Amino acid sequence: MNFSSRTVAILIALLVAGVLTACALVVPGLPQREAFLAGGITVAACFLLVYLTFEALIFREINGIYAGLEHIKRKEFKKLSNKFLFRPEPVKRVRDEILQMAERRQQEIDELKRLQALRREFLADVSHELKTPLFAAQGFVHTVLDAEGPGDIDPATRHKFLTKAATSLDTLDALIQDLVTISQLEQGVVRLRRQRFDLVALVREIFELVEEKARRRGTTLELLPPKYATVDLTIVADRNRIRQVLINLIDNAVKYGRDQGQVRVSLLESHRGVRIVVRDDGPGIAPEHQARIFERFYRIDKSRSRESGGSGLGLAISKHIVEAHKSGIRVKSAVGEGTTMEFKLPKPKVAPGAP
């Protein structure tokens, strides 16, 4: 039976009172020697009863604590029986606190292990991304330097190798700049230069940048709704940073959309701001990847090279830029149905009485 310490104390008190009362009623003329003997026996019996009872309670609770810790070690949190209301018993309160503390520490350990795994993965990705263009540039430069004489390599080949080396170093520089940018964004040291600008003009500017790539894939770029062919749309944000976000989103839509497909950029106004929606008709993103595509260096297709898949920092940087504007990028996608990415930006505040 599961008696609390309070219940046990009440039972003991009743028992002692009953014994003494019975003795007084049954043996009213009890000699002094026998009275002292009965009192001693009663005290000893009560002492043993209380001692053994509370020892049993304490040991039972300690065993319960150890059992709970074993469940925590095996991460069987659902089997813990420490979800109780207020309890007056101090031992049980200690047990509950220990179990809760152990569960929190186990969760912290699991989180540290996860972060450690991410750190190792990040260092491996950074090493690989830096090594690829560096080794390429190194190989081209050493090929030119190892030529024994001026006639061993013709000027055209030398110029070709040096151009490829310069391209690899430019790629390396861009990667380092992206790493610096994302580090600053994560630390919150980047200050946004908020200003009014025409979002329609910015989207058309980016269309011109990716037009050649879209033409090679037969992709059509479309800005919706059609009224923005002649109408401006003013927002308040950091133009250069939003330009970087839109370049990443639209370039990815062209890159991963299907050939002879269509990329649509929709600007949806509301009284609070503008919702920018970029949609492609590519293969889509599986649900298990949607939560990770904004991680640094994460690629859905691990076999893609840097030339075809990029460095894997574009979406991570875009996420931080949008969050710095007090918004967030939402992803809607299904396999075989294309991908939609959207975020919101504020419009200028209209002064009271202004048209």
In this predicted structure, the answer to whether residue 198 has a pLDDT above a threshold of 90 is: yes
Q: Which of the two residues, 95 and 316, has the higher pLDDT score?
A: 316
pLDDT band at 83 (very low <50, low <70, confident <90, very high): very low
pLDDT of residue 117: 76
Q: How far apart are CA 266 and CA 10, in angstroms?
A: 76
In this predicted structure, the answer to whether residue 62 has a pLDDT above a threshold of 90 is: no
Lowest mean pLDDT across 63-67, 158-162, 322-326:
63-67
pLDDT band at 280 (very low <50, low <70, confident <90, very high): very high
Backbone angles phi, psi at 234, to 5 degrees: -95, 135
Q: How far apart are CA 119 and CA 113, in angstroms?
A: 10
Q: Which of the two residues, 198 and 168, has the higher pLDDT score?
A: 198
Q: How crowded is residue 251: how many other Cβ atoms within 10 Å of its Cβ?
A: 18
pLDDT above 70 as % of the chain: 66
In this predicted structure, the answer to whether residue 71 has a pLDDT above a threshold of 80 is: no
- Specify which residues 198 forms β-bridges with: 234
For the CA atoms of 75, 80, 83, 86, what is the dihedral angle to 10 degrees?
-120
- Look up residue 330 and give its amino acid: R
Q: How crowded is residue 57: how many other Cβ atoms within 10 Å of its Cβ?
A: 18
